[in-house]
Structure 1
Amino acid sequence: MRTSEEKMLAVEAWRTSGLSQNEYCKTLGVKRTTFANWVSRNRRKQAVPNFVRVTIPPVAISTAVEVIYPNGVIIKASGNDLKMLSHLIKLY
């Protein structure tokens, strides 16, 4: 029985040999179906993951907020403090 490392090395050697799987299996003394399983497992181990981590740097937003009350009073504030905006809206 061969170790997983030996199987992986055999698959890599086959890929660089230029031989077909049938020809390589004859020189290795392994059934082609067995070797095909090794190739399949090796391919899965080398597969690229489906997800790639993406990080988005925080962006500083400097905006002006304007609250206009029905009675015509206008309050202007700079920044993006949602607590302050909420408080200003509740004042009315």
Structure 2
Amino acid sequence: MTDRNDNALILMLNGAGVLMAYGLLGVSLWLSTEVPLATKGYWGMGILLLTISLINVVKYRFDHRSSEDRIRRIEEARNEKMLEEAILDSKTDI
């Protein structure tokens, strides 16, 4: 239960940091009068697409790790069942 609370706190802090970074970026683009509007839009799109790409990378890494853990648990359960059957077979032989 403590891990879930810690994860929620970390996610909240990271979310607040991302929102603050976007806010500060928006304010700096809005207040920079010497930069043309097209350049501001280009920078904004670049930041947004980079964020989407980073989210996808993290998601795919998490999914890969999750599937590896699932496969490992299945193999452990299979090995445990094989050991139980071997022990039961050896007891019936005696």
- The TM-score by the shorter chain falls in which range? 0.3 to 0.5
Report the structure, 1 or 2, having the larger helix content. 2
Of structures 1 and 2, the one with the larger relative CO (CA 8 A, separation 6+) is 1
TM-score by length of 2: 0.36
TM-score by length of 1: 0.36
Report the structure, 1 or 2, having the larger strand content. 1
